[in-house]
Every structure is written in C-alpha cells, then in structure tokens.
Amino acid sequence: MTTGSSFKLLSSREIDSLHVTLETYEHTKTGARHYHLATENKENVFLVALKTVPTDSTGVAHILEHTSLCGSERFPVRDPFFMMIRRSLNSFMNAFTSSDWTAYPFASQNRKDFDNLLEVYLDAVFFANLHPLDFAQEGCRVEVKDPKNPKDSELEFKGVVFNEMKGAMSSSVSRLWHTMSSHLYQTTTYHHNSGGEPENIPDLTYDELKLFYKKHYHPSNAVFMTFGDIPATEHQQKFETLVLSRFDRSEESIHVGSETRFTQPVHVEGTYGSADPNDQTSVVIGWLLGASTDLEELLSAQFVSNLLLDNSSSPLRKYLETSKIAETPSPLCGLEDSNQEMAFLCGMEGIDPSNAQQFESEVMALFERLADQGVPLEQQEAVLHQLEVSQREVGGDGYPYGLQLILSSLAASMHGVNPADILDIDPVLTELREKIQDPDYIKGLIRHFFLDNKHRVTLTMKPSEDDLLRAKQLEKARLAELKSTLSDDQLQALIDTAQQLKERQEQEDDISILPKVELSDIHSDIPRHDPEVDPDIALSSYVCGTNGIAYHQVVFDLPELNEEEQSWLSLYTSMITEVGYGEYAYDEAQLRQSQTVGSLSAYSSLMANTGSEFSVQGYIHFSGKALNTKVDDFVKLLNQVVHNARFDEAERVWELLLQMKHRKHQSVTGSGHSYAMLAASAAWSPLSAINHRLGGLTGVHQLMEDVKDISCLERVLPILQSIHQKVIASPMRIAAMSDGQGLPLLQEAIKSEWQAGSNFNQGVTDITLNVQPASRKQLWATNTQVNFVSRAYKSAMHTDDDAAALTVLSSVLRNGYLHRAIREQGGAYGGGASQDSASGVFRFYSYRDPRLAETLDDFTKAVEWFLSKEHGFEPIEEAILGVIGSIDKPGSPAGEARQDFHNRLMGRSYKDRHEFRDRVLAIDEAELKRVAKKYLLGAEYSEAVITSEENAKALNQAEWDVFTV
C-alpha cells in the first residue's frame, strides 16, 4: 500500500494497552523509515534519528549534533535552535547524542508551532551549514589567553562540548562506565566515548566533521518517529517536500558490527582522577550479552535484570546491599540494552581493592546457587507485575508522554527492530507468565547469561590525585608544545580567528526569516481541575485518564521539629519506604510492595507563608500507584507503611545511609548549578536557607561528616523515630486519582482504611524560621574540572505583582545577553537567570563553566545591558512566549490532578494562577526596566560557586567563606 507517491505502508498495529496505533512506513525512494504512533493526544511529537558510529573518542557525533543546529540552508542565521526556543510554545526541544545514534526531538500542543519547528529541525539536520566558526565555538578551539601580548601569553582550549565533557567526565561514575565500555567492547563503536574525551576532542578537525556529516546525515540512514493526532500522511507530505525529494537512496552502509567474544574472563585495574577523600575504589563486573535485535534475547535479559535488581528483596540487589566487603552498590548496576549488543553490570563502591577477587567469587557463587535452586515464583510474578504497571502508566510529567514512548523504543528502531515489538508487551507478559511456571526457565537464563558466558570483565577503579594532576599537566604541556611550533603569523591567526568568532557571536541576524508564533496564537485559558471533596476525611478525588492505574496520596502537616530533626528530614523521607513495617522485615516489605504497587515514595515540601516570609508551611507527602485491580491491598499497604514503619532495623538503616551518602556526593557535579543557586539564595530567603540546610550543599556536607562509621546510628535511630512519631500525629489530608472505573473503588478503599483513628484537618501548621538575610559569598570545593557559578538577589514573592515581570525579565536577560556571553563566548555548557517566586529570590547561574570571576562580571553586565538601551517588543514577546509555554506545558493526567491538589494545599487558587498568567501576557519593556532597577541595579547580592581547589585560586579567597563537599 502506498500513501501518496512517496511512502509505502508496511504494517499497522493497535497497541490496546497504550491506546495507540503504530503505523510503519518506508520511503520508497530513500528507504527512510517512518514510525507513527496515531492517537488522539493533541501534544504532537516529532523525532528524527540517525545512526552515528564514531571510530574514536574525539566527540565527532556530539559536536556535530551541536553544530548542525547553528544555521542551515533555509535558515542561515547563527543560532536558529536557541532562537526557535524563544519563538515557540514548545513543550520540549532538544537534541541527544547516544553511543550509536543522534536524535533531534521536539513537541508542541500548537499546530502552527509544530509546523514551524518541523521546518527548522528538518533543515538543520539535512541541510546544515556547518560554519567553521560554529565548529570552533561548539567543539574545541585554541585561543591566546592574552592577545595583547601573544609571545608571552599561554594558550588555552575553549569550546562548549569540550567544557561539557570536562564536566561530565569529572564524575567518577561516568569515568567508570566509559572505562568498562572500552574493555567490554573491544572492536565496535562502543569502545569509544561518543560524547568525546576531553583529551581527544582537540584532535577533531573541521574536515573530519564534514565527512562524518556527509556519511551519516542522509535519509537512508534516518528514522522518523511521530506521535499525536496529526495524521501520518500530513507529516509525510512535509518530509517529502522539505527534505526527501532532494535525495536518492544512499549506497553507504552504516553498521555497528559484532564483537569477537572472549574465551576467558578479563581482569582490569585502573584509576580515575580525584583529589576528593570521599571518592573510593569501585569494582564492577560486566558481561556482554546477546544482540538487542534478538527480541527474545532482549526481553529475557530485561526480565532477568529486573528479577535480580528490582528491589532489596531481589537476590543480587540484596547481596550487594548487605555485603560486608564494601560500602554500597555501584550506580552502574543493571542492563544496558540500548547498544546493539547488550551488557549487564553489577558492582560495589567503597571496597578494598584486595577484595575484588572475593567480590567476583561471591557474585559467581550467587549465580551458581540461583542456577541450581532457581528464584521463588512469587518474586518472578512480582517482576511481571511491575512491568505491567510501567506499561500501562500514562506519563508526561518529565518528558512529553509521546516522547517517552518514542525514546523507549528508539534504540531498537535504530537497530532494525519494529518499535511495536518493544511497546506492545502484553503478549510478552502472557508468554512470560507461562514460561515461569517451569522452574528450569529462570535457571537456564541465569546459566546462559552469566555462568556459561566467558565475555566478562572485572574492573577495579581507584581514585588517584596523580591522575587529576597528570591530566592538567598533559593539557598544559600540549598547549605549550603547540605554541612552541607556532610562528608569529600563526599566533596572529589564532587571535584573528578568535576575533572573527566574537564578531560572529555579536552579529545581529535577520531573525525574521525564522517562523514564529505570536501572542495571538496563545489560547486564552488554562485547564481547570475541580475535585470531588469529602470534608469528613479531607479527601480530594480526581477523575482522570490514568489507563487503569490508581494514584493515592496522604499528606501530613510538617510538625515542629528541632534543628537536629530538621537536618535528618530528607533522609527520613528517603528511608521510610525502604525499611520494614509492622511484622515485616525490610526485604519482606520490599517484596510485598513489588507484588502490590507500582511504587511507593515519600518526600517533604516547604512553602513560605503568604503572611510572612519568616514562617513556612511544611508537608510530608506519602504517595503510591497501583493497578485498579489492587486498590484494596494498595491502600492498606500505604497505611501500614505510614503508621508502622520500622526504624529499629539498625543494619538496614546503615545500608541506606551509606547509599544516600554516595548518591548525594555524586550528585554535586551533575546538579552543580542547582546546588549553587540554592546556596546563593539561602542568604536572602528563609525558605531557601532551610532547603539549603536540608537538601543543599550544607546538607550534603553534613551527611559526609555524620555518616563515617556505624556508631552514628546511636544518635540517628532515635532522631528518625522521633520524626516519625511527630509526623503521624500531625493533621492529614488525602488525594485520590484514577479513571472513571477505578476512582469509586479507590474512594471506597480509602474511606474504609483511613476512617478510624486518623487526624483529618484542613488547617495549616506554620513553622517560624530564625534566619537573618545578609549578603555573603560561598565557595564550595569539590572534584570537578569545571565550575558552577551563581548570584542571588532578594526579589518578590509569588503573592507580589512584580513576580510576573521578574519572571519575564529572567528570560529576556538569558535570551539577549547571558546565553551569548556565558555559553557562546565564555564556553560554558549553559547559563541564564531565573526568578524563584516561591522563595522571593532572583538568581543568575552558569553550568559546566570554565570561568569564575568573568562569569560573575557577566551577571552585572547583563543588567547594565538591559537598562542601557531600548529593546523594542520582539525580545519581550519572545520571553513571554517562553514563560507561557512553561506555564501551559501539559503533564500526565495524574500529574496534572496531583499538581492541582498541591496548588490548593499551598493556597494557590486557580484564580491566582490565571491572574499571574494574565500579568505575564501584559508585560511591556517599561515594566521590565522598572523591576530591573528596583531589584537588581546596585542592589546587594550573594554569590556561590562550586569549583575545584585549583580553579578557586583565580578568586580572592579572603572574600569567600570556603567549604568542601
């Protein structure tokens, strides 16, 4: 069957559990595939992906992903991608580089906006300009540090991807993964770091980039994927007109290839650069499994991985958590199934290197025991239950739901598997339920994947300060050697190129050639959710399209806690669903959870009181989800966990503390800009101050100090028990979300389970904070090659009319000045500004930044730039579009209902939110200049940076309070 004259329909398959129809097409001329997920959802998603297989670690695929978005044939402006972010109502825009593919996705609820983005994306991917100066900006270039004195000046590397990967590879986990991959995969593209190794990125030439583009960025090597209510034929007409009609089928064949299998396991020892005493030795074992293109092999591997590691009752997870030869499981545990040949990893952190052999022997003995004795049927059934819940859940609270479906099947699609086979797991679940009735089924899989598989690597990685110093010395020596070979003319050429790039970055492009939406394209209303409220038990019930899943939330007022109790609050909420309850030890409790619910979680939330910023409203949230068929057991389980959680399991609490300590420490370089903003904000906002102490850098630092040996439990256990008793004695409220069939069942179960002995109350408990605002500078030293920089000003709370203008102002400053100064010219991976109306703080920030003092200067210059000239309405309109797009971004059905419940809890009425949105739409330049002068010009501020001890030397440390984390 042919659609129009360009695409042939190969298959159509309804996936009932997802309420979509997957249509598979092939472009007759080029062979490009198009997979369309037809549904009634109005948030349409587009993605085009290309198989990209680097043969080195220069980051060519990654740098090409960046550079292709810097101007194209129809849109020859310097920065169309970031410009379109400003001229769009998108709910998602980005690009990704994976190990063997590169993808360009976006999503929008607005049809005009979707068509605009489609034109720009298709032109960027298939007709990129690849300007050499854009390659220099995005990849890596050499500059003279002091161009006024070039003969005596040092050289330096600059570039967005170069600094991005310096930041990424500062993570011990990233270094561990790429080292393991380089040994597990000896001959295929996975041997290399597709993102780029900082020491190899400078080797990439512009000509090599162009050759890679010519080979890989062709429709014959492309997969198009769409989701939503726009028919496939309409997409295909645009694909044909805008791109495909200009191409013939390519004869270039791009394959990953297959690994030559080991005949004996391999043992490797290595080091990674770190001067951080909290970084410890890791041992990880990796197995190369079968092809992900073999559907039976793929699904069997996923099942076994979940069975081994899903929760603390799972056999391998339990061993890793309770072993006495190491501190905690490695974050790398699990199945890597996106590569053409899969890998399974398990490992430990905080292990003595001399115990590596014992660890390997114990893991292999565990597999021998499982292959001999099997795994209890109830554990296997629990895994299938979890798969069913995850299959049915309608997401959309992080990525758009359609994009989640597309990305979950993209790797398989790139390797030639029909995504329907990945998305439609109901037949798989039926088949697995039959197979697991045979006791030998799981025994055979364990033997197949692990015991009979000789392609195994055991990697021991130790932290090494010498490695850290060596990397810096090698870079410095490389630049010095390069300079020694340069003539005066060549030095001048570097200076000239840097000047040309600066002029290009500052040029005013004719952006009118880019399509855009306007304020008139914005719909006038926002969705409204009106729950059914039962005042007798403070129950708010929402009917929403949850596809057979029930969501239940119980919220307690945060009680008055002393300072020590407050410091352990986030750990209390992290632990409570991980310990035992009532008569059940933690491992039994974990199995019951896996059998009954999709998930259980707990967290705390704080909000400044509308009457006084020096008091807060605080809440403890307990929530979960389960199939409608299990709501009775679900509600009972949540009640039992909430009221009967056991903090008397000392060994379990110690295991969890070690896991959380490692996890928090590793999060600093990944979320450095968020931590830095919170630290800077803490100077002005009591709410930010307590959040900084509970979950910010102060909290991380305190956790490192407190959790050093098991003797800390003598102090910690009574604190956790005290918090718990105070929480469950506090006033509570309840929320229920499900579809039309499930909600009555959920309501009935809730009324039955929570009625007796519950303290229902719709009042609010206020907590007074003793925090004195004051300007300060904080420098946090950690193991990082790049910096995270922030500045914060006292601004307006969400109840103040100025909050809307400050929110728009943050976008204007980011779009008009900070993006160019910090990212393009400064070389940081990102930078900008944001207004936090919940805390009443305006923040500037940078992310994976090679600079410190210069970035702080740019924060000042951004305000001066905005106030020193007339800007006209266009940049204001672009900022408003971005803010409205963020406000109107859809979530999952349950997520939107949950957000409405939280808004009501926090006193944010529908009317308040609508008025804020209306104020945003009415902002003009005069209003923005008024709030910029009022809150930012010449005002006091606080600053926080996360950096290394070496980089910190660039600052006058006498002016800073210095901490380590």
What are the pLDDT digits (tens) for 856-913? 999 999 999 999 999 999 999 999 999 999 999 999 999 999 999 999 988 888 888 9
Q: Are 591 and 382 in contact (CB under 8 A)?
A: yes
Nearest CA to 142 out of 85, 188, 92, 201 is that of 201
Does residue 800 have a pLDDT over 50?
A: yes
- The residue-averaged pLDDT of 824-837 equals 95
From 429-438, 770-779, 936-945, the region with the lowest mean pLDDT = 770-779
Torsion angle of C-alpha atoms 656, 659, 660, 663, degrees rounded to 10: -160
Distance CA 579, CA 574 (A): 10
**How are the residues of the chain apportioned to helix, strand and coil, as percentages rounded to the nearest 5?**
50, 20, 30
As a whole number of angstroms, the longest Cα–Cα distance in the chain is: 86
- The chain-wide mean pLDDT, for the chain, equals 94
Question: What is the DSSP annotation of 696-709?
Answer: SHHHHHHHHHH-SS
Residue 638 in tokens: 């949540």
To which residue do tokens 């970035």 refer?
855
> φ, ψ for residue 728 (rounded to 5)?
-70, -10
Read off the pLDDT of each residue in 670-680 and give the average, rounded to a whole number: 95
Residue 769: pLDDT band with limits 50, 70, 90 = low
Higher pLDDT, 787 or 470: 787
567 vs 723: CA distance, rounded Å? 11
Neighbour tally for 561: CB within 10 Å: 19
Region 683-694 average pLDDT: 89
What pLDDT does 340 receive? 95
For residue 706 the two structure tokens come to: 């407190």
- Whether 318 contacts 398, CB under 8 Å: no
pLDDT band of 218, cuts 50, 70, 90: very high
The pLDDT-based confidence of 170 (bands split at 50, 70, 90) is confident
Task: Report pLDDT digits (tens) over 430-443.
Answer: 999 999 999 999 99
The answer to whether 749 and 632 are in contact (CB under 8 A) is yes
* 480 vs 738: CA distance, rounded Å: 65
The pLDDT of residue 70 is: 96
913 SS3 class: helix
Q: Is the pLDDT of residue 2 over 50?
A: no
**Residue 316 parent element (H or E):** helix 315-322
Amino acid identity of residue 459, one-letter, is: L
If pLDDT is split at 50, 70 and 90, which confidence band does 612 have? low
Is residue 574 within 8 A of residue 658, CB to CB? The reply is no
What average pLDDT does range 534-562 have in this prediction? 94
Q: What is the 3-state secondary structure (H, E, C) of 329-357?
A: ECCCCEEECCCCEEEEEEEEECCCHHHHH
Backbone dihedral region for residue 56 (phi beyond 0: left; psi -120 to 50: alpha; all else: beta): beta
Write out the two tokens for 17.
């559990």
d(CA 102, CA 124) in angstroms, rounded, equals 13
Which of 905, 902, 944 is CA-nearest to residue 689?
944
User: Which pLDDT score is estimated for 767?
Assistant: 66
Q: What angle do CA 91, 553, 838 make, to 5 degrees?
A: 55
CA distances from 485 to 140, 147, 499, 893 (A): 19, 17, 22, 63
**What's the CA gap between 366 and 267, in Å, rounded?**
19
777-964: CATH, from 3.40.50.10140, 3.50.50.60, 3.90.480.20, 3.30.830.10: 3.30.830.10
Q: Decide: 935 and 806 in contact? Cβ < 8 Å.
A: yes
Q: How far apart are CA 935 and CA 933, in angstroms?
A: 6
The pLDDT value given to residue 759: 73
- Which 3 state secondary structure label does DSSP give 155? strand
**Domains 266-399+416-463 and 777-964 fall in the same CATH topology:** yes
Angle at the Cα of 208 from the Cα atoms of 204 and 209, rounded to 5 degrees: 85
Average pLDDT over residues 325-335: 95
What is the rounded CA–CA span in Å between residue 891 and residue 911? 20
Q: Write down the pLDDT at residue 1.
A: 42
Q: Which CATH architecture has domain 532-670+683-768?
A: 2-Layer Sandwich (3.30)
Residue 611 has pLDDT above 90, yes or no: no
Question: What digits encode the pLDDT tens for the residues 283-329?
Answer: 999 999 999 999 899 999 999 999 999 999 999 999 999 999 999 99
Q: What is the pLDDT of residue 275?
A: 72
Paired tokens of 318: 């339990």
**Best CA proximity match to 237, nearest among 6, 48, 2, 515:** 6
Q: CB–CB of 621/605 below 8 Å?
A: yes
642 pLDDT band (50/70/90 cuts)? very high
Using the predicted structure, report yes or no on whether residue 400 has a pLDDT greater than 90: yes
Give the rounded percent of residues in the chain with a pLDDT score beyond 70.
Answer: 98
Neighbours of 746 (CB within 10 A): 24
- Residues across the chain: 965
Chosen CATH of 266-399+416-463 out of 3.30.830.10, 3.40.50.1100, 3.40.50.1370, 3.40.50.880: 3.30.830.10
pLDDT greater at residue 64 or residue 280:
64
Coil, strand or helix: which one is 569? Answer: helix
Instruction: Provide the token pair at 871.
Output: 């800007």
Split at pLDDT 50, 70, 90, the class of 38 is very high
Give phi and psi for 734, each to the nearest 5: -135, 145
Buried b (16+ CB within 10 A) or exposed e, 845-880: bbbbbbbbebbbebbeebbebbeeeeeeeebbbbbb
Query: Does residue 468 have a pLDDT over 90?
Result: no
Between strands 282-291 and 456-464, the pairing is antiparallel
User: What CA–CA distance (Å, rounded) separates 99 from 341?
Assistant: 12
197 touches 862 (CB < 8 A): no
According to DSSP, the β-strands at 777-781 and 942-947 are parallel
The pLDDT tens digits for 810-826 are 999 999 999 999 999 99
Burial of 99 (0-12, 13-18, 19+ CB in 10 A): buried
Phi, psi of 608 (to 5 degrees): -60, 140
Q: Report the C-alpha gap between 249 and 220 in whole angstroms.
A: 6
Residue 804 above 60 pLDDT? yes
Instruction: Map 344-408 to HEC letters.
Output: EEEEEECCCHHHHHHHHHHHHHHHHHHHHHCCCHHHHHHHHHHHHHHHHCCCCCCCCHHHHHHHH
| Burial (0-12, 13-18, 19+ Cβ within 10 Å), 132 | middle
pLDDT above 50: residue 955: yes
**Side chain identity, residue 827:** G
3-state secondary structure 98-152: CCCEEEEEEEECCHHHHHHHHHHHHHHHHCECCCHHHHHHHCCEEEECCCCCCCC
Candidates 662, 666, 946, 677; CA nearest to 785 is 946
Q: Which residues pair with 14 in a beta bridge?
A: 21
Distance CA 529, CA 893 (A): 11
Average pLDDT over residues 482-494: 95
Q: Are 719 and 525 in contact (CB under 8 A)?
A: no
Percentage of the residues of the chain whose pLDDT score is greater than 90: 85
| pTM for the whole structure | 0.95
Mean pLDDT, residues 240-247 taken together: 98
Gap between the Cα atoms of 663 and 352, Å rounded: 19
**Rounded Cα distance, 283 and 665, in Å:** 18
The H or E element that residue 208 is part of is helix 206-216
Pick the CATH number of 2-251+491-513 from 3.30.9.30, 3.20.20.210, 3.30.465.10, 3.30.830.10: 3.30.830.10
Confidence band (pLDDT; 50, 70, 90) for 765? low
Q: Tens digits of per-residue pLDDT, 576-587?
A: 999 999 999 999
Over residues 104-129, the mean pLDDT reads: 97
In angstroms, the Cα distances linking 222 to 1, 50, 235, 634, 878 are 21, 5, 15, 44, 32
Q: What are the residue boundaries of the structural domains of the chain, listed by start? A: 2-251+491-513, 266-399+416-463, 532-670+683-768, 777-964
Average pLDDT over residues 166-192: 95
CA distance 456 to 184: 7
Q: What is the pLDDT of residue 610?
A: 66
3-state secondary structure of 219: helix
CB 613 within 8 A of CB 686: yes
